[in-house]
Amino acid sequence: MVTVEDIRNVRFSVKWGGYKVVEVDDFLDRCAETLRAMTGERELLKKQIAELQNR
């Protein structure tokens, strides 16, 4: 499983004719934020399910 920290800490080699580093970093930042939000939402939903099951 890839974590938010994995995404934040990944680095790629730069070669001639490669991708723009800033664009890759920006995309990875957006991925990390999306993953963080989805993880938080999943935890909230798990709690709500548990509460409903306990009724």
When pLDDT is cut at 50, 70 and 90, the band that residue 7 belongs to is very high
Predicted confidence band of residue 13 (pLDDT cuts 50, 70, 90):
confident
DSSP string, 28-49: HHHHHHHHHHHHHHHHHHHHHH
Supply the pTM of this predicted model.
0.75
Tokens 């938080």 locate to 40
| pLDDT-based confidence at residue 29 (cuts at 50, 70, 90) | very high
